[in-house]
Amino acid sequence: MRVAAIQTTAGDDRAANLAAAGALVAEAATAGAQLVVVPEYFSVAGTPEVLRAGAEPLDGPTVTWAAATASRHGIHLVAGSFPERTGASDGRLANTSCLLAPDGTVVAVYRKIHLFDVALDGVAFRESATIAPGHSSAVAPLPVTSTGEAPVLGLTLCYDLRFPELYRMLTLDGATVITVPAAFTAATGPAHWELLLRARAVEEQVFVIGSAQVGELPAGMPRCHGHSMIVDPWGTVLAERTDPSPGVVLADLDFAFLSTVRERLPVLANRQPGAYVGLHGNDRGTPN
């Protein structure tokens, strides 16, 4: 299966952002990508006030664009994320990622669980002031490959990458590919982005697709690291965009190789769930 990670630099104009992303998705589809992933906040980026003003329901302009784009190209499309207006009683939004099928239907919705409340280089970011955390993980089947494998996609977003518990849950729920749309900061990216993507891929023995914003975003957003990349279950970086500009990263995923890795190094089968109960009071069990 050929997949693509799209790298963008979102501006303050949603129509322009969607047009720029659309051109890169078209480039990826022309190159044969069957699954395409665009970054976090790819359609609306900026201060909390900008996010609130640009917030939309699940059937708003961003998902409508994503549905039309997936259908036009006959691809699965992970619509990175957008600020979703959910009607929450406290007025907060959700940071929402969707998987669109080739017929344009929404087949999975994930609302970011881990929120970016940090202080970096003297600058504080409090995503939770605007965004309410999600509470559910999300997986969805992908098309059966020509060699008979049945891949399953798990959805995550940016800061989630630092919480391995979520990735283990997705893997135990069947994920063999996990997507990470992100706006990973330039402050932490050089030290942590590749390290964490490769660690999650090795720990879970899955393919990981990191699709990132790059460069200067609108005020209220950090400068972003870029380096969109695709990593295999052995931790090998299959493809990476090192140029600090928007673009497309392509790689072919070999699910027979994933099966071989899991057979030869059976870390998932060698888990000891009974020893982990004290971590959170329960355990997800063992994979099928």
**Domain ranges in the chain?**
2-271
Which residues are catalytic, by number? 40, 112, 158
Q: What is the pLDDT of residues 100-142, one digit of tens each?
A: 999 999 999 999 999 999 988 777 889 999 999 999 999 999 9
> What percent of the chain is helix, strand and coil (3-state, nearest 5)?
30, 30, 40
Tell whether the model's pLDDT for residue 252 goes beyond 50: yes
Residue 283 has pLDDT above 70, yes or no: no
287 compared with 99, residue with greater pLDDT? 99
Superfamily of structural domain 2-271: Carbon-nitrogen hydrolase (3.60.110.10)
pLDDT at residue number 286: 52
Phi-psi group of 185: left, alpha or beta (phi > 0 → left; psi -120 to 50 → alpha; rest → beta): beta
% the chain with pLDDT above 90: 87
Average pLDDT on 30-38 reads 98
Task: State the pLDDT at residue 281.
Answer: 58
Per-residue pLDDT of 169-216, as tens digits, reads 999 999 999 999 999 999 999 999 999 999 999 999 999 999 999 999
Binned at pLDDT 50, 70 and 90, residue 285 comes out as low
Determine the Cα–Cα distance for residues 200 and 185; give it in Å rounded to an integer.
19
pLDDT at residue 274, rounded to an integer: 87
For the segment 59-95, what is each residue's pLDDT rounded down to a tens digit? 999 999 999 999 999 999 999 999 999 988 899 999 9
For the cut 70, the answer to whether the pLDDT of residue 288 exceeds it is: no
Neighbours of 202 (CB within 10 A): 19
Length of the chain counted residue by residue? 288
| Distance in angstroms (rounded) separating the CA atoms of residues 158 and 86 | 21
Lowest mean pLDDT among 5-14, 115-124, 208-217, 233-242: 115-124
Residue type, 153: L
94-100 average pLDDT score: 98
**In the prediction, which pLDDT does 64 show?**
98
Phi, psi dihedrals of residue 73, rounded to the nearest 5°? -100, -5
The rounded mean pLDDT for the chain is 95
pLDDT in the model for residue 8 = 98
Residue 279 pLDDT more than 80?
A: no
Residue 118 confidence (pLDDT) = 92
Instruction: Yes or no: say if 96 and 113 are a contact pair by the CB < 8 Å rule.
Output: no
What is the structure's pLDDT at 276? 85
- For tokens 């994503």, name the residue: 66
What was the pLDDT predicted at 141? Answer: 97
CA distances from 44 to 5, 21, 175, 223, 249 (A): 18, 12, 28, 15, 22
What are the residues whose beta carbons fall under 8 Å from the beta carbon of 12, sequence distance 6 or more?
45, 46, 50, 218
The two beta strands, 123-126 and 117-120, are antiparallel
Instruction: State which amino acid sits at residue 44.
Output: V
